[in-house]
Structures are given as C-alpha cells and as structure tokens.
A and B are shown apart, each in its own frame.
Chain A
Amino acid sequence: MMLRMRIVKRQEPLGMWGSCLVLISALVLAVMLSGLLLWIGGTSPGGGIAALFQGAFGSRWALEDSVVKAIPIFLCSLGVAVAFRLKVWNIGAEGQFALGAVGATWVALSFPEWPKPLLIPAMIVMAMAGGGLWGFIPALLRQKLRTNEIIVTLMLNYIAILVLDYLVYGAWKDPASFGFPMTRAFSDQAVVGKIGSTNINWGLLHCVVLGAGVWAFFRFTRLGFDLKASGDNVKAAKYAGMPYDYLVMLVMIMSGALAGWAGFLEASATVNRLQPSIMVGYGYTAIVVAWLARLNPLSIGIGSILLAGLRVGVENLQLDLQVPAAFGGILEGLILLTVLAGGLFTHYRIEQRKNP
C-alpha cells in the first residue's frame, strides 16, 4: 500500500509540549542512527551507547568533566546566539575564543603580581577586548566593503589560531618547557579556582550570571528590543528609526566578547597557561548548540552540557570499545541534522490524504 501523505502548513504555532516531543524524538532518532553506525562498524549498538552515556554522565568524575567542558561551549554559544538573533552569521567563535585567551594571557604574564581582585577583572576585560576585536573586524568589513560575514569570520578563525601559535612558539614560550609550545604557568592570582572539592571551576558561576544577563538584556532593555526587531525584519527596523548598522557592530562585538570570555576561562581555570591544545573546536560546537537551543539561553545551557558530555563520553567509547573518537563528531552532526529536520514539524504537520 502506498503511503499517501501530504504536508500542511500549521495555522497556529506548535505548543511547548509539542516542541519538546519533537526535540526528544529527534534526539532519539539521532541516537538510533548512531547505534546503526556502531553496528555497521562491528560494535554492539546497545553497549556502545551505554558506554557513551556512562562515560559522559555515569560517574561523578565524568559528570564534572562534562560540566567543565560545557563552560566554554556555553559562553561561545551564548555569543553566537546573540549575533544569530540579528541574523548576523558569526561563525568565528573559535577565533574570538583564541583571541580572548591571548588577551587574558597577556595580562596574566605581564602583571603576575597584581592582587587577584584586580588581576582577574583585568584579564576578563582584555579577553573581551580581544574577542570583541575579532568580532568587530568582520562587522566593519561587512559595513564598509559589503563582505560576507560568514566567510570573514571563518577565515579569521585560522588567523587567530596562527596568532596564538606565533605567541606560544615565540615571544611567550616558557623557557623551561623543554621546547613544548606553551607559556609559563599563570601565577595563583591569575587562576580562577575550583568550586569546593569538585573539579568544576567558578566559571560555572560566570556562565549563570552571563546567561541570565543576556536573557534579561533581550527581555527588558530597549537595545535588546531593537535587536529582536531588527533580527525579525531589517526593513521594519530601519522604518522605526533603529540604527541597524550600529546594531550589527554591537552584536558582533558582544558576540566576540562572550567567546573571548570563554577563552579566558579555558586558559585561566582549565590549563592555567596558554597553549595550542586549548583550541579543540568549542567555537564550532557552540554553533551547533545555539541552533539546537533555538538561541534561548537556558536551552543553550542544557545543550552545552549535552554536547560536552558527548565529547567526554566518546573518550570512554574509545578506551572501552576502540571506537574512534571521531564518532563524537558524527553523533554531533547527526543530532544537528535530526533536530533541524524536526524543525519542519514546528511549522508544518503531515496528514494522511483522504480519498473518496
């Protein structure tokens, strides 16, 4: 029998429960598809998925590690979400993250003796300045030369990584590192500490405060409203006298500054120095998270922990079942695809064709 289906546009938006159901179904489908891939690869799908979850959330150590990795993903994602709100496609969180780490490191290495209450804020400011600058450049080019911000932000990522490499291989290299590309370890004053006896650093608190701040910014401020309106309809924003060009600059700087903050936390709290190994693609995962979360700060929090857990979990998968770690990337991609495909159901529904 032929399935006779047709797609009908929804007259009213899908409610919250419906949206949740669609999201959960999409995630389940992604897990099932990845199970299929594991099976093709000769691994038991059930065991593989179990090992993945066990490795991500199954122990205190795993859970803490997932949260630690979620912190930079969250901040980068919050940043790109701000830009995406305005339909400015900032793909450059990775580079802005790198420049943020560079900015913070410069302060940490130059003034290691400053007291902590002075040094940490100074590092944050420089990290935001570095990341913000890396967001400002593509915005300026877009305004003045009508370049495409997707291309420019993407290209600037590679430049940022080369800048970072140049510094840690050259001027900032620790003489005592036996030739490894890394800076000196930060002084104690330059390190964001851990919460109690856990492995989680105080960056988690930064995330909560910044997430709430961004949410409140869009919800309650005039500027947030202007951004929301401009993101919906540029022509209407100009009609209403909103300074669109200025708003684009602003969101790109904000976006870069948040990613830069993530770079600061990664250098200060996680590795206590600057080294090329901090660049592990959080800035790209952040884009996936922002889309999954539909740019909502709270959902970005959940999405960050989920995708960070995936990164942690695949290590377990690799150790236990010898599945390559690239499997994590595959699963991340599958989740993005199924969730985006599920987006169809928020605007359309499928009904059976009635035949007389």
Chain B
Amino acid sequence: MGCSLPLIRLENISKSFGRVHANRDVSLEIEEGKILALLGENGAGKSTLMSILAGQLQPDRGHIFHKGKRVVFSSTEKAIEAGIGMVYQHFKLVNALTVAENVYLGTRGGFGLNWKKIRKNVRELGLQYGIDIDPGARIDGLSMGERQQVEILKLLHRQSNILIFDEPTAVLTPREADNLFAAMKQMVARGKGIVFISHKLEEVMAIADNIAILRRGQIVDRVPAQEVTSTAELAERMVGREVLLKVDKSPVEPKQIVLKVDRLSDDRLKDVGFDLRQGEILGLVGVAGNGQKQLVETICGLRRPKGDNIRILGLEWGRFFRKPDWDKTLSYIPEDRQGLATCQGLDLLDNFLLTTRGGFTRGPWLQYDQARVKAEHLLEKFDIRPPDLTACAWQLSGGNLQKLVLAREFYRKPRLIVAEQPTQGLDISAAEDVWRLLLKARDAAGILLVTGDLSEALALSDRIGVMFDGRLVACFAADDQSKVAEIPQLMAGLSV
C-alpha cells in the first residue's frame, strides 16, 4: 500500500450549501486495485462528495490530488480526463441507440465510423471484464442490469481508472448484483480503483477492501473490511449506536377483513386472490416485475380492475373510489416518492395537504392555517429536515421526503395501508422508525407490505405471499419455517 501513491487523494474537502455543511474536512484515499465502500445515512453528504469528485461541484475548501499531483476539477471534462467515471443511479443512456453507439457517444477524434469494428471492440472490451452483452442491442430493450453494464462499458472504453458506483445494486436483481460484483472484482484485478456507495451492509462486507463511514458530512470511521466482524457492527459504526436489526413484534388478534382480492386477472396478473385483515401485515415478496406493481396500482385505484374482484373496507372497488374519505381509509405509500407521492414544485405544506386536504376543507375553502399547525407538528415529530413548511419538496433528500410521505399517510389514521418498498434508500435508523410505525399502525389497520427485501418482510410480516409471473404462488404464515425456507425457489418460479 505504502509503495504506490493513491490514485486520488482528497484532503480536507469542505462544501456547504447555505447553512448546511454537506461535507466537512473530508479526507479520503482511493487506491489502485482496491474497492472503497462509502457508507452513510441519507443526507450524510455522499452525493455531494461524489459530485465534487466528478467535477460537478467545486469544494469550498480542500484539495484533490491525482497520483500525488494537485488538480482542480473545474468541469466534468477535467474529471473525466483524470480518469474518473461515475455510474449513476439513474442511467445516462440514449434509449433509442444501440449499446455500441452509447459506448462511443462523446468519443473524440476521427471522422468516419466503422460500426462493424466498433461493435467488435465493444464486445471484446466487455468480455475482458465478464460483461456479455450484444453491442447491437437497443437500450430500450435491455433490463436495468444490462443498462448498468452499458454504463460500465462506457467508462471502461474511456479508460477510466477510478470508477464510482452510486448505489448500483438498488435496481438489480440478486443475480445481476452477483454479476456486477464479479465485474468489479475483474476491474480491481486490472488495477482500477473503485468507490462503492451502498446502504446494503452485507454487500459492503462482501466486496469492499476498505470502508469509510460518512456521518453529517464528516468521515467518522475508516476501517479495512477484514476488521469488521458483522453487519451489526458495521451498522453500529454507521449510526453511532447499537441497531436492532431484529424487530420485536407481539402478535395482534386479526380482526375484520379490510381487503379482499378475489381471482384478479388482467394482462399481467393471473388469478390473484387473498384476504387481508385488520391487525396483520401481509408481506408480498418476489423479484421485481412479477406483477406486484400492477397489483398495487389496481388496489390503490390507479388501474381499473376488469371485474368486481376487489373489495376494500367492505366496499366494491368502484364504489370505494367513487368518493373516498380522507381518513380512516386506504393509505398508499408508493415506491416512487418523487414522481407519485409528492409534487416536487410545491412546498411542504401543499404536499402535506395532498392527501389530507379532505380534513381541512370547509365548504369550498381549504383551511391552510389549521393545516399549517398540524404540519409543523409533524415536521417536528418525524424530524423532517429542513423543518420549514415553505421549502419545496425537491429540496428534500430522499429519506426526508419519505418521512414526509409517511408522516402524512399515518396522519390519516389508515385502516388499510399499502406500503411499497417503504424503507428503500433509507438508512437503518430511518428504516427502523418506519418498521416501528408500521407495527404500531397494525393495531388499527391491515397492511400490505410489498418489498424486495426479504429480511424486512420476514421481520415484519404475519403472513408472507410470494409473487411470480403475475401469480400469487404461495401465501403462508411467516413463522412456518419450512415454507420460509422455500421462498427462494418460489420466487424463482420453481414448483416445490
């Protein structure tokens, strides 16, 4: 380690936005042939730090050294020249173009293009790193995992030496994630340096050489991965206190049926049927894209079912959605917080009123003053930052936005909750808060929990349902150990 200079060394980097210190005196080293994992809660300053590295933001103070030489990344081109490449959570690809075209996009020099040769080059480049992808395929026909591979190929083609992955596994299936890790190992074996940003502690443990933990803009811990013994230890280092990964839940007597789905079929769903009672959590698991989205959208009134297959709180689907009440009814906590659950251009008060406005309506008027009092209270109770009702939703970090949505939806005292990936992208302490809220809400409500995180489903659910190819292939009590053991096969569509 000591013999070679680090590829990139950050020295006392500070950056603030207004009064918020996003980064304070951050010093880090990215070394050749090593994977550095960057862990931190939402809003800890990971994105800011990476934007500084990528030349999108300028630090207020501090220096960047590239192979021992001081550099200033005044633009993204400068950062690219220095060999820094980012794989963003939201891919930057042209959907209508092919893989090879995307890889060569932005390449300079030469006038004519020999597509045959280019495709061959792309193919060979990919195979060096175990990435097997058809260079002639169009992006819009590819899965999320394949698109990510194209992003990686782009960087490899530019001969980036420092690759930064921002939560790369968030959009991947477990298998795709394994492929990604294999490719990452290939890259470090060839001397590249990798920064891996993730919330998933197991992944960090499995793949990282070094782990740096960022909290409130500062590096609070830097450890070699071998020295970490368990994910619990890592989690503790991250939030600064012992975290209960196991949630205590006492059984609640299931009461009346709040949701009844009876042989629901459409272009994606096949004969889905189940009951949900007040006082229980039904965890719906499965690989993403097996009909969960369609099922949730139908239950929550965004898709019309073909027949009378759904009864919500005792009412037929059509009658329920004709004139829904604002409280003591159905609350939907969608996965897409920015696009579906909030209006990004409106302030927090308006976003609070989005689903609770029924409670503040008198005649034609909306009682903003009363709503303001309630919303102020919720901002404090849920520790939403910034605690300012006039801030716009787009100014909030993902975690704070989710807290706002949860605060709003629980304020409605729901009887039926459909929670879709409620802790995705949240740090552990925030996730724990969400779990506790859901368990508390279970007394009064039936909860349909759709999650890609099996441990979350097992920790919270009273019953587990497994979806595959539009069907609910199994539904059983969460303490049925023999069934629980079969979940991976069920998710993969193997009959057991």
Q: Is A42 an interface residue (CB 8 A)?
A: no
Asked if A220 and B365 sit within 8 Å, CB to CB, the answer is yes
Q: Is B2 an interface residue (CB 8 A)?
A: no
Asked if A221 and B366 sit within 8 Å, CB to CB, the answer is yes
Distance (whole angstroms) from the CB of A351 to the closest CB of chain B: 9
Q: Is B109 an interface residue (CB 8 A)?
A: no
Q: Provide the residues of chain A in CB contact with B301, threshold 8 Å.
A: 241
Q: Mark A219-238, 1 if CB is under 8 A from B, else 0.
A: 01111111011001101111
Distance (whole angstroms) from the CB of A19 to the closest CB of chain B: 15
Q: Mark A22-49, 1 if CB is under 8 A from B, else 0.
A: 0000000000000000000000000000
Asked if A222 and B392 sit within 8 Å, CB to CB, the answer is no
| Interface pick from B135-143, B185-193, B348-356, B480-488 | B348-356
Asked if A221 and B350 sit within 8 Å, CB to CB, the answer is no
Q: Provide the residues of chain A in CB contact with B368, threshold 8 Å.
A: 220
Q: Provide the residues of chain B in CB contact with A355, threshold 8 Å.
A: 72, 74
Q: Is A239 an interface residue (CB 8 A)?
A: yes
| Interface pick from B168-176, B332-340, B466-474 | B332-340
Distance (whole angstroms) from the CB of A99 to the closest CB of chain B: 27
The 3 closest A-B pairs by CB, nearest first: A232-B343, A233-B343, A232-B345
Asked if A228 and B350 sit within 8 Å, CB to CB, the answer is yes
Asked if A239 and B346 sit within 8 Å, CB to CB, the answer is no
C-alpha gap A315/B145 in the complex (Å): 65
Find residues 326-356 in chain A having any chain B CB closer than 8 Å to their own CB.
353-356
Distance (whole angstroms) from the CB of A241 to the closest CB of chain B: 6
Q: Who on chain B is nearest to A232 by CB?
A: B343
Q: Who on chain A is nearest to B355 by CB?
A: A240
Asked if B334 and A239 sit within 8 Å, CB to CB, the answer is yes
Q: Is A13 an interface residue (CB 8 A)?
A: yes
Q: Provide the residues of chain A in CB contact with B341, threshold 8 Å.
A: 236, 239
Q: Who on chain A is nearest to B346 by CB?
A: A232
Q: Mark A1-27, 1 if CB is under 8 A from B, else 0.
A: 000001000011100000000000000
Q: Is B128 an interface residue (CB 8 A)?
A: no
The B interface, classified by DSSP as helix, strand, loop or mixed, is mixed
Asked if A225 and B350 sit within 8 Å, CB to CB, the answer is yes
C-alpha gap A241/B353 in the complex (Å): 12
Q: Is B344 an interface residue (CB 8 A)?
A: yes
Q: Provide the residues of chain B in CB contact with A224, threshold 8 Å.
A: 366
Q: Is B324 an interface residue (CB 8 A)?
A: yes
Q: Mark A92-135, 1 if CB is under 8 A from B, else 0.
A: 00000000000000000000000000000000000000000000
Given known A-B contacts A11-B17, A225-B350, A229-B343, A6 and B302 have beta carbons under 8 A apart: no
Q: Provide the residues of chain B in CB contact with A13, threshold 8 Å.
A: 392
Q: Provide the residues of chain A in CB contact with B332, threshold 8 Å.
A: 239
C-alpha gap A237/B353 in the complex (Å): 11
C-alpha gap A236/B404 in the complex (Å): 14
Given known A-B contacts A11-B17, A239-B302, A220 and B324 have beta carbons under 8 A apart: no
Find residues 156-186 in chain A having any chain B CB closer than 8 Å to their own CB.
none
- The number of A-B residue pairs with CB atoms under 8 Å apart is 76
Distance (whole angstroms) from the CB of A254 to the closest CB of chain B: 14
Q: Who on chain B is nearest to A216 by CB?
A: B365
Asked if A228 and B74 sit within 8 Å, CB to CB, the answer is no
C-alpha gap A238/B300 in the complex (Å): 10
C-alpha gap A354/B71 in the complex (Å): 12
Asked if A220 and B72 sit within 8 Å, CB to CB, the answer is no
Asked if B339 and A235 sit within 8 Å, CB to CB, the answer is yes
Find residues 416-441 in chain B having any chain A CB closer than 8 Å to their own CB.
none
C-alpha gap A314/B72 in the complex (Å): 54
Q: Provide the residues of chain A in CB contact with B353, threshold 8 Å.
A: 225
Q: Provide the residues of chain A in CB contact with B339, threshold 8 Å.
A: 233, 235-236
Q: Of B58, B74, B354, B395, which one neighbours A229 at CB under 8 angstroms?
A: B354
C-alpha gap A235/B340 in the complex (Å): 5
C-alpha gap A229/B334 in the complex (Å): 17
Asked if A236 and B58 sit within 8 Å, CB to CB, the answer is no
Given known A-B contacts A221-B365, A222-B361, A225-B353, A238 and B346 have beta carbons under 8 A apart: no
Q: Who on chain B is nearest to A352 by CB?
A: B74
Given known A-B contacts A236-B341, A239-B341, A225 and B366 have beta carbons under 8 A apart: yes
C-alpha gap A226/B354 in the complex (Å): 8
Given known A-B contacts A233-B339, A236-B354, A239-B332, A6 and B364 have beta carbons under 8 A apart: no
Distance (whole angstroms) from the CB of A204 to the closest CB of chain B: 27
Q: Provide the residues of chain A in CB contact with B345, threshold 8 Å.
A: 232-233
Q: Mark B51-93, 1 if CB is under 8 A from A, else 0.
A: 0000000100000000000111011000000000000000000
Distance (whole angstroms) from the CB of B403 to the closest CB of chain A: 17
Asked if B18 and A222 sit within 8 Å, CB to CB, the answer is no
Q: Is B342 an interface residue (CB 8 A)?
A: yes
Q: List 17 A-B contacts (CB under 8 A).
A: A11-B18, A12-B17, A12-B395, A222-B361, A223-B364, A225-B350, A229-B343, A233-B339, A235-B340, A236-B340, A239-B341, A241-B321, A353-B75, A354-B72, A355-B74, A356-B71, A356-B74
Asked if A6 and B75 sit within 8 Å, CB to CB, the answer is yes
Q: Is B357 an interface residue (CB 8 A)?
A: yes
Q: Provide the residues of chain B in CB contact with A11, threshold 8 Å.
A: 17-18
Asked if A353 and B74 sit within 8 Å, CB to CB, the answer is yes
Asked if A354 and B343 sit within 8 Å, CB to CB, the answer is no
Find residues 275-323 in chain A having any chain B CB closer than 8 Å to their own CB.
none
Given known A-B contacts A12-B18, A241-B301, A232 and B366 have beta carbons under 8 A apart: no
Find residues 191-241 in chain A having any chain B CB closer than 8 Å to their own CB.
220-226, 228-229, 232-233, 235-241
Given known A-B contacts A229-B343, A236-B341, A239-B332, A222 and B365 have beta carbons under 8 A apart: yes
Q: Provide the residues of chain A in CB contact with B343, threshold 8 Å.
A: 229, 232-233, 236-237
Q: Of B346, B364, B392, which one neighbours A228 at CB under 8 angstroms?
A: B346
C-alpha gap A240/B18 in the complex (Å): 33
Distance (whole angstroms) from the CB of A141 to the closest CB of chain B: 23
C-alpha gap A233/B343 in the complex (Å): 5
Distance (whole angstroms) from the CB of A127 to the closest CB of chain B: 24
Q: Of B75, B355, B357, which one neighbours A222 at CB under 8 angstroms?
A: B357
Given known A-B contacts A6-B75, A11-B17, A355-B74, A241 and B340 have beta carbons under 8 A apart: no
Q: Of A222, A237, A240, A356, which one neighbours B364 at CB under 8 angstroms?
A: A222
C-alpha gap A221/B367 in the complex (Å): 8
Q: Provide the residues of chain A in CB contact with B72, threshold 8 Å.
A: 354-356
Q: Provide the residues of chain A in CB contact with B18, threshold 8 Å.
A: 11-12
Q: Provide the residues of chain B in CB contact with A236, threshold 8 Å.
A: 339-343, 354
Find residues 281-324 in chain B having any chain A CB closer than 8 Å to their own CB.
300-302, 321, 324
Asked if B324 and A241 sit within 8 Å, CB to CB, the answer is yes
Q: Provide the residues of chain B in CB contact with A6, threshold 8 Å.
A: 75
C-alpha gap A233/B392 in the complex (Å): 13
C-alpha gap A208/B46 in the complex (Å): 51
Q: Of A12, A232, A354, which one neighbours B74 at CB under 8 angstroms?
A: A354
C-alpha gap A225/B349 in the complex (Å): 11
Given known A-B contacts A13-B392, A225-B350, A233 and B364 have beta carbons under 8 A apart: no
For A221, A224, A236, A356, the residue with the greatest tally of chain B CB atoms inside 10 Å of its CB is A236
Q: Provide the residues of chain B in CB contact with A239, threshold 8 Å.
A: 300, 302, 332, 334, 340-341, 354-355
Distance (whole angstroms) from the CB of A51 to the closest CB of chain B: 42
Q: Mark B232-258, 1 if CB is under 8 A from A, else 0.
A: 000000000000000000000000000
Distance (whole angstroms) from the CB of A136 to the closest CB of chain B: 21
C-alpha gap A320/B345 in the complex (Å): 48
Q: Provide the residues of chain B in CB contact with A241, threshold 8 Å.
A: 301, 321, 324, 355
